[in-house]
Amino acid sequence: MTEEPSAVASRSQGPAREPLLELRDINVRFGAVQALTDVNLKVYSGEVLALVGDNGAGKSTLIKCIAGINIPDHGQILFEGKEVRFTGPRDPTALGISTVYQDLALSDNLDVVANLYLGREETDRPIPSISEEQMEKRAREVLADLNVTTLQSPRLVVASLSGGQRQSVAVARSVMWSAKVVILDEPTAALGVAQTKQVLDLILRLKQQGHAVIVISHNLGDVFEVADRIVVLRLGRNAGDFEAKDVDRDDVVAAITGANIAAASAATPGTATPTA
């Protein structure tokens, strides 16, 4: 029996354990544009999941559904096995889902400690005052846990930091508030070789600490260096779910471009191969 194109795209199955975060049959429409159609996604604790696809594939829309920015028109979101409904960004944050966007949302004029605690400053009692000493101590602990060794001091102003150091600060801010799922949107974009290595090491460190990590990236080299699984979106639909160790770059590119579907259709008697 010849496999259907959709079956060809799914070359492997995920772990048998229960996913920490699961999306089922997510549909999102913006006016006349169907952005996502029946999209499924699972991510497990202690796993790095890479979400890849061409521009317009629906990656950003899907991530914003997880972040509580986009509300799906249809589908389910499950966290730790229970269905949840997000009405805004505060809901996933309260569960332990943190998203680090490309712009990082850091305040350049403040130091690292102030950025880590922005809006959540600790205060002394009985007279309310910001506990700078306690905040700095906690900041050093979090950075040490993530093995961030390139920062000489958490009192450095963010404007003076490199791209890799800024990314480290943004990630540290997300995990210091008990995040279980960390989403990184193009974390190595516009970074040099050394800075990229620093960020990739940080991703692996998050995995070792038991976090579930979702990485959105166009750089397949980085993806294969850190990812356990690779999920491909194409034209707002699932196009592949691969164990990274079982596939190579050509397999993933074929899923991104739809070449695997065309090849499967050509191999099926009586099925016409789509033309451009």
Tell me the pLDDT tens digit for each residue of 29-76. Answer: 999 999 999 999 999 999 999 999 999 999 999 999 999 999 999 999
Structure tokens at 273: 């191969």
Structure tokens at 220: 């397949």
Where do the domains of the chain lie?
Answer: 1-96+180-276, 106-178
Which residue from 212, 245, 251 is spatially nearest to 232, judged by alpha carbons? 251
Region of 101 on the Ramachandran plot (φ > 0 left; ψ -120 to 50 alpha; else beta): beta
Higher pLDDT, 246 or 128: 246
Q: pLDDT at position 120, please?
A: 78
d(CA 209, CA 45): 9
pTM of structure: 0.83
For 1-96+180-276, give the CATH class.
alpha beta
